[in-house]
Amino acid sequence: MKYLKTLTIAVFSLSLLAACKKDKQHYIIPADKRYLNHVTDETGKTVAQLTYYDDKKIKTFTFGDWEYRYVYDNNGKVSSVFSGNEECRYNYNSNGKIINYSIKGQVYSVSYNSDENSYSFTSFVGPTKVFLDTEGNCAKLIYGNNNPTTANFFYQNNRKGPLSNGGNINLTNYISLVPMFLVGQVEGNLLALPLDGFTGGNSELSTSASFANEYDSENFLLKSTTTTRRKTNKKEYT
């Protein structure tokens, strides 16, 4: 009788362990709970890192030597972006469009064209114009003085990029004196919608690139290999 009782407990324990293991294997984090924390390269080195506020909006975004810290207004829009000790402040009109940004008291005007869904402003590469698609992603970028450069961006639709959640920082990453979009997001494919490729550009933005992306069963980007004429690099997102 004692043997039978011991055997029953053992079988029950094994069944419970197997059930727990099965649940763990099949548990999928809901799409709206997925937040990027780290990006590593092919050597395992961390090349990008994000932190979040309690409400899960992005707080800091570090890529290489660049670190950006985001502050939001009561409407959930980015009001300031800090890079080191430097603050970039944004002002919006009643329609939620950026009208200017300022750094160290210097105000830079921003003009929105509703017919083109574009913003014109000044960045470190000179006069800059960003064209947005219907989802707010950068579809085209024109920048430079005498001989402007045009870069076109292509995305893998119906997929989820590393920044699918965490608040919308796209616009202020496009519109700045040193746009985070150019500094790190394109190279790292660190966007809400994964890049498929882009054409055009110069030394700041390589002339063209293609992205070979791997996704999980929920269509979230897991790995991305970027190929340009100069180099190939791999990223993994966790």
Looking at the predicted structure, is the pLDDT value of residue 169 above 90? no
Looking at the predicted structure, is the pLDDT value of residue 222 above 60? yes
- Dump the DSSP string for the chain: -HHHHHHHHHHHHHHHHHHHHHHHHH----GGG----EEE-TTS-EEEEEEE-TT--EEEEEETTEEEEEEE-TTS-EEEEEETTEEEEEEE-TTS-EEEEEETTEEEE-EEETTTTEEEEEETTEEEEEEE-TTS-EEEEEE-SSS-EEEEEEE-TT-B-TTSSS---HHHHHSSSS-HIIIIIHHHT-SSS-EEEEE---SSS-SEEEEEEEE-TT-BEEEEEEEESS-EEEEEE-
pLDDT at 14: 33
pLDDT at 3: 41
Q: What angle do CA 157, 184, 188 make, to 5 degrees?
A: 50
**19 vs 95: which has the higher pLDDT:** 95
- Is 178 in contact with 124 (CB distance < 8 Å)? yes
Q: Rounded distance, CA 64 to CA 83, Å?
A: 13
pLDDT at 178: 76
Q: Answer whether 0.85 is exceeded by the pTM.
A: no
Q: Has domain 32-237 been given CATH number 2.40.10? A: no
Q: Give me the mean pLDDT over the 146-150 stretch.
A: 86
Of the listed ranges 5-19, 23-37, 52-66, the one predicted with least confidence = 5-19
Calculate what percentage of the chain has a pLDDT beyond 70.
83
